[in-house]
Structure 1
Amino acid sequence: MPATCNVVVLLSGSGSNLQAMIDNLQGVDHPARLRAVISNRADAFGLQRASDAGIDTRALDHKTFDGREAFDAALIELIDSFQPQLVVLAGFMRILSADFVRHYHGRLLNIHPSLLPRYKGLHTHQRVLEAGDREHGCSVHFVTEELDGGPLVVQAVVPVELNDSPSTLAQRVHVQEHQIYPLAIRWFAEGRLSLGEQGAILDGQLLGASGHLIRN
């Protein structure tokens, strides 16, 4: 069965989540196809990962544009040239304009290293340890105009150990990111996952405030 859901990945860095997608989305029977990987940094190692896997790559330097809106307009044009059904953010270190988010409404996913709505933004592992939390994790969500605030699709929970540092905690969270992001992409590609007026919908059922929860 040929792949039917073209996916474009946006990234700015090493692309570890991209590698998990490459490893998980293989096979002619998989409903998703990684159509292209685009970065705002030409030196992003994620572009090399994509090239090694035979995936089209493009670099679009945000510094050559006069402001966020101009860059996002060019980015939309570039993304749409690959005719994707789904766009996924995998460490794309740009705050997206409202026009960009609206253009891809219902087909734009992001992953965040915390149990949203807790710890939006940066340095999540350090903040979890400073707060003395017993649990941490990661979240896949639909992207809306609210930063790290879109409807949740799936979350993976990991325990916080007594001797954890930000780096050890990050390593365990990354393992879970590499599981749940390909899972969410498969759900979308299979037509099981969508964004409704009230939130994310999986298999016809509205997901709760935490999305689909996986405990480790």
Structure 2
Amino acid sequence: MNARQQGFTLLEILIVISLLGVLLVLVGGALLGANRAVLKAQRYTVSLDEMHAAQQFLRTALAQALPLPVPPESGQPPGIFFGSAQRLAFVAGLPGQLGGGINLYTLSLQGAGAERTLQVAFARVGFNAAGNTYHTWGEPQVLVRDIQQLKFSYQGVSPAGQLTGWLDHWPWPQRLPRAVRIQAKVNAAVPWLTEVVALRLDLAGAGRAP
């Protein structure tokens, strides 16, 4: 038996090792690519769930807005709905799974830069002979994170009975608007789709000023 039949040459072994190395690199690259795809799909799913939950919460809350007094801010007249481009306050029922009862909702843009979030704060409304009371409970909850732009706008009926266009500020706090539009740009895997919420109770004339 000659030397060729007794084993492999060093060159052949080096070639095999090189081929195995290339194969391992290819397999490793494929596994890393698959792992990145899975993580991206997970982030997309989480972002989609969070976005849907936030929009569902906003739809439910705004649609059930009630013509009940809202504590006015400094210098403002009493009213039942206060709305600006980045903040709004109204009274509505809270879903049973969140505690139930009649609550004051305050939605506002908080933070700066990449840390800006849309938050909601709650205050339970009590009724007595001396007037309504408002008891803040819990910490403000973050609805949407990484907001780049946010704009609330409002549509309703003026005191003269005329249907308005979309307004960046609701000028008649004694009246409920007919609809609220929520526009946002977020730094997330899922974009925010512009949402228009119609109030279920057509109470545009509620609390009309004389």
- TM-score higher than 0.5 here? no
TM-score (norm 2): 0.24
Structure whose CA Rg is larger: 2
TM-score (norm 1): 0.24
